[in-house]
Structure 1
Amino acid sequence: MSELVHLSVADGIGTITLDSQHNRNALSRQLVTELFDALAAAEADEHVTVIVLAAEGKVFCSGADLSEAGSGDMTEGLRAINLLQRTIATSAKPVVARIQGPVRAGGLGIVAATDIAIASSAVTFALTEVRLGLAAYSISLSILPKMAPRAASYTFLSGATFTAAEAAEWGLITTAADDLDAEVGRVVGELSQGAPSGLRETKKLLNADLVARIDALGEEMATSSAALFASDEARAAMTAFFSRPKG
Structure 2
Amino acid sequence: MAPLVHATQATGVTTLTLDSPANRNALSAELVAATRAALATAAADPAVRALVLTHTGNTFCSGADLKSPSAPADFLALLREIAELPKPVLARVTGHVRAGGLGLLGVCDIAAAGPKSSYAFTETHLGLAPAVISMPLLPRLDPRAAARYFLTAEAFDAAEAARIGLLTLHAEDVDEALEPVLAGLRKASPQGLAATKALTAAAVREALYRDGARLTELSGQLFASAEAREGITARFERREPSWAL
TM-score, length-normalised on structure 2?
0.95
Correspondence for 1:47: 47
Deviates more, 1:1-10 or 1:47-56: 1-10
State the percentage of identical aligned residues: 45
User: Equivalents in 2 of 1:142, 1:108: separation in Å?
Assistant: 9
Deviation at 1:208, TM superposition (A): 1.8
- Taking the TM superposition and a 5 Å limit, the aligned residue runs for 1:178-193 are 178-193=172-187
Paired position in structure 2 for 1:108? 102
Counterpart of 2:101, as a letter, is G
Paired residue secondary structure (1:155) = helix
Alignment-derived partner of residue 125 in structure 1: 119
1:184 Cα offset (Å): 1.9
Q: Write the distance in 1 (CA, Å) between the matches of 2:166 and 2:12.
A: 27
Query: Which runs of 4 or more aligned residues in structure 1 lie more than 4 Å from their structure 2 counterparts after TM superposition?
Result: none
Per-residue deviation at 1:209? 2.1
1:154 matched to 2:148: yes
- 2:160 corresponds, among 163, 166, 178, to 166
1:185 Cα shift?
2.2
Report the equivalent of 1:207: 201
- The answer to which of 1-10 and 19-28 deviates more is 1-10
Matched, 1:16 2:16: yes
CA RMSD after TM alignment: 1.1
Structure 1 gap segments, 5+ residues each? none
CA distance in 2, matches of 1:207, 1:123: 25
Instruction: Tell me the number of residue pairs that the alignment of Structure 1 and Structure 2 aligns.
Output: 239
Select the structure that is richer in helix: 1
Residue by residue over 1:193-241, the C-alpha shift from the partner in whole angstroms, topping out at 9 and shown as x without a partner, is 1110000000111112211111110010011011010001110110111
Counterpart code for 1:49? R
The Cα shift of 1:190 comes to: 1.5
1:152 to partner: Cα distance: 0.3
Q: Which runs of 5+ in 2 are unaligned?
A: 240-245
Aligned to 2:242: none
Query: SS state of the match for residue 145, structure 1?
Result: coil
- The one-letter code sitting in structure 2 at the alignment partner of 1:127 is F
Give the Å deviation of 1:186: 2.3
Structure 2 counterpart of 1:92: 86
